[in-house]
Amino acid sequence: MDNRAIAAMLDEIADMLEVLGDNPFKVRAYRRLAAYVDHLDTELREIHARGGLGDIPGVGKALRAKLEEMLETGDLAYYRRLRERVPPGVLEMLAIPGLGPRKVGLIYSQTGISSLDELYRAAQEKRLRQIPGLGGKTEFNIKKGIDMLRSLGREVTLGTALPRALQLRDYLAEMPQVEAVEIVGSIRRGKPLVGDVDLLVASSDEAAVREKVRKYRRVLEVDREGPGYIHGRLELGLEFEVIVVAPGDFYRSLLLCTGSRAHREKMVEAMRGVDLRGVDSEQAIYQRLAMQYVPPELREDRGEIERAREGTLPSLVTVEDLRGDLHVHTDWSDGGSNLREMAEAARARGYRYLAVTDHSQSLAVSRGLDVERLRSQVEEIRALNREWTDFRLLTGIEVDILRDGSLDLPDEVLAGLDVVIASIHSHFRLSREEQTARLEAAIRNPHVDIIGHLTGRLLVRRPGYEVDVDRVLRLAREHRTALEINAHPDRLDIDEETARRACQAGVRVAICSDAHHRADLDLVSYGVLSARRGWVGRSDVLNAMELDELLAYLGTSGGDAG
């Protein structure tokens, strides 16, 4: 088992223990280990080989034995036993908003209901309210929640699909018969939600490629197969299709398999009658069509084909353009890495600066900083900054926007920080007017530089709260407040559409990882993909600025002031 699989199993164990009403601290032990393993940059297998499992924080005798069993046998008896007591369908109920482990456990033990379909029927037939502790309101919310889950469909986030697509790509790339292999379809376009993993392979031995796919250990089943293609499901039920073409057809196929349907139809039209023999890249094809190269993220038929013909496509922001990250957490609040680790990870990425923006006091669960602790953190940051000449930690906070729109820390404290992000973390159910008024108050605060994750959406889990985006954009422009593109693949908030409108409106965006661990700085690439899909250019991006320029923009004095 690899780290990803082990982390998933540990998390599932935690879910099952919770439903069974086991000791919450035991549950936390499993969750903490799952998160740790998920962030590990070494395979547990290697750590095991050198006998280091016991040195992992939070691993004692019991967890160590379980890790060993997983690594050595690829299975875990304890997990199997729990599965017998808690069917998978019961765990799916945890995704329903408002339904936690206790209520799920109650429903299962009282009724034996073990799937979403059964649960939905029971809610419709008003049978749930008969369970002591549940009422009509919960019943209604369960129905609404299942409707919401169904509307989300079978799509998964890019954060789930892309790593698996890369694994399959690398697996196929090992074959000597494979001349080229690329991820295509919506993943290549960087769509935040994708329904399947599509790969294009160039090979003259397509039967061998299909055979290799069938033998891939992460393939659950193959359901369709024929000359030139093989289709089935990977882990998590994720659909995949591998298309095999002759090497001479690769780049034309690559272009046609990447764009959205509407984009593809227009390109087929454009290619009609054009001699594409001998092209050795997508760029060469566009050239023969007298078009600018269209980056995959733009291939949605939103005007990019016309602009490419005119030669007026924008130059899109790249990961390499970013000079720093302006939204990260450390172990001062709910992050998993300390200041130095975060700083070193940022330096290793080639960043010139990193703003430390831990949570503020009202977010108690995250050990949010009060004025005193913030002051201590700032001191530690100043001390650390003496160590580098090529890099700078910026002081900052992700300050909570309270219910009435006021901020969680006094103005004079915010004034002393390099970067202030204001975010909503509570009262999601207010009306559009109330929500927008809170944001307006935050934007009008002269110390606020960036509004964090504007809508609070969590992809595949929860829609964002209602916001008057037009009004926010007008205010943001007026007050030179940037909007964050929160790069976490579960958020991607603001979305690409809003990002495009922001840039058209002259509002800057900040593409930030919201990393809670040093390994998560890399998540920024998802935000860049989303930004590119929103036609965002380098000059639109706050953290593409050099340090001096940024500090001038933020209105701080640059040196060690404050």
Partner DNA sequence: GCCGTTTTCGGCCCGACTGTTTTCAGTCG
90/162 with CB nearer DNA:
90
* Nearest distance from C-beta of residue 455 to DNA, angstroms: 12
Residue 52 binds to DNA (criterion: CB under 7 A): no
CA distances in angstroms from 375 to 63, 70, 397, 447, 562, listed in the order given:
38, 45, 11, 17, 11
Among 57, 176, 273, 278, interactor with DNA by CB under 7 A: 57
Interface mask (CB under 7 A) for DNA, residues 362-381, using x and -? Answer: -xxxxx--------------
Tell me if 320 sits within 8 A of 538, measured CB to CB: no
Q: Which residues pair with 176 in a beta bridge?
A: none
Nearest alpha-carbon partner for 398 in 476, 324, 325: 325
Q: Which stretch binds DNA (CB under 7 A): 20-28, 341-349, 375-383, 389-397?
A: 20-28
Task: Measure the CA dihedral 308/314/315/319, to 10°.
Answer: -110
Strands (E), 427-516: 450-451, 482-486, 509-512
Residue 476 binds to DNA (criterion: CB under 7 A): no
139/155 with CB nearer DNA:
139
Structure-block tokens of residue 28: 């936390």
Q: For tokens 């659950």, name the residue.
A: 220
Interface mask (CB under 7 A) for DNA, residues 393-412, using x and -? Answer: ----------x---------
Structure-block tokens of residue 322: 């970013």
Kindly identify the residues of this chain, within the stretch 120-149, that bind DNA according to CB under 7 A. Answer: 129, 132-139, 141
315/426 with CB nearer DNA:
426
Distance (Å, whole) CA 414 – CA 447: 6
Interface mask (CB under 7 A) for DNA, residues 497-536, using x and -? Answer: ----------------------------------------
* Nearest distance from C-beta of residue 60 to DNA, angstroms: 2
* Nearest distance from C-beta of residue 331 to DNA, angstroms: 10
In the three-class reduction of DSSP (H, G, I as helix; E, B as strand; rest coil), residue 392 is classed as strand
* Nearest distance from C-beta of residue 167 to DNA, angstroms: 29
Residue environment code for 379-401, b if the CB has 16+ CB neighbours within 10 A, otherwise e: ebbeebbeeeeebbbbbbbbbbb
Kindly identify the residues of this chain, within the stretch 409-448, that bind DNA according to CB under 7 A. Answer: 425-429
In the three-class reduction of DSSP (H, G, I as helix; E, B as strand; rest coil), residue 120 is classed as helix
Among 36, 103, 355, 508, interactor with DNA by CB under 7 A: 103
Among 78, 79, 293, 553, interactor with DNA by CB under 7 A: 78
* Nearest distance from C-beta of residue 5 to DNA, angstroms: 19
Residue 337 binds to DNA (criterion: CB under 7 A): no
Residue 81 binds to DNA (criterion: CB under 7 A): no
Structure-block tokens of residue 204: 């003259």
- The 10 Å Cβ neighbour count of residue 421 is 27
462/479 with CB nearer DNA:
462
Residue 63 binds to DNA (criterion: CB under 7 A): yes
Among 25, 125, 215, 372, interactor with DNA by CB under 7 A: 25
* Nearest distance from C-beta of residue 435 to DNA, angstroms: 13
Longest dimension (CA), the chain: 73
Among 52, 60, 237, 555, interactor with DNA by CB under 7 A: 60
* Nearest distance from C-beta of residue 407 to DNA, angstroms: 16
Distance (Å, whole) CA 83 – CA 68: 20
By 3-state DSSP, what share of the chain in percent is helix, strand and coil, each rounded to 5? Answer: 50, 15, 35
In the three-class reduction of DSSP (H, G, I as helix; E, B as strand; rest coil), residue 550 is classed as helix
Distance (Å, whole) CA 104 – CA 89: 11
Contact residues: DNA, CB under 7 A: 23, 25-26, 28-30, 57-64, 78, 96-104, 106, 129, 132-139, 141, 334, 363-367, 403, 425-429, 458, 462
